[in-house]
Structure 1
Amino acid sequence: MAKLVDLRSDTVTKPTAEMRKAMAEAEVGDDVYREDPTVNRLEELAAEIVGKEAALFVPSGTMGNQIAALTHTLPGQEVIVDPRMHIFLYEVGGLGRLSGVQTRTIETADGCYTPDQIRSAIRGNNIHFPNTGLVCLENTLNRAGGVVIPPHRLNSVADAAHEYGVPVHLDGARIFNAAAALDVDVRNLCEKMDSVMFCLSKGLAAPVGSILAGSKEFINKARKYRKLLGGGMRQAGILAAAGIIALTKMVDRLQEDHDRAKRLAYGLVEIPGLVVDLSKVQSNIVVVDCSGWGKSVEELIKILAERGLLVTPFGPYHLRMVTHKDVDDAGIDLALKIMQEVGKELA
Structure 2
Amino acid sequence: MAHADGPTDNSHSNPSGPSGNADGKELLASASHSQIKINYVKGGGHGNKKGNLTTIDPNWKPPACWYEPVFTPESLKKFVDDTGGIGDVGAFWSWYGKGLWTDHYKDEETWPNNDGTTAPGYKNYNIGKKGYFWRSVANEDAAGDVWDCGKLMFWQDAQTIPNVPNAPTPKTLAEYAYNKVEVPDTKIELKPATRSTVNLPTWIWLDKGTFQDVVVRAELPNTGLWAETTATPVSLHLDPGTDDAETYPASGTCDFNQDKSIGTPYKKGDADQTPPCGISYLHATDGTPYQLKASITWKISWKGSGNSGGTMPDGTFETTQDMNVQEIQAINR
Q: Normalising by the residue count of structure 2, what TM-score does the alignment of the two structures yield?
A: 0.25
Higher RCO, 1 vs 2 (CA within 8 Å, ≥6 residues apart): 1
Q: Normalising by the residue count of structure 1, what TM-score does the alignment of the two structures yield?
A: 0.24
Larger strand fraction of residues: 2
Q: Which protein is bigger by CA-based radius of gyration?
A: 2
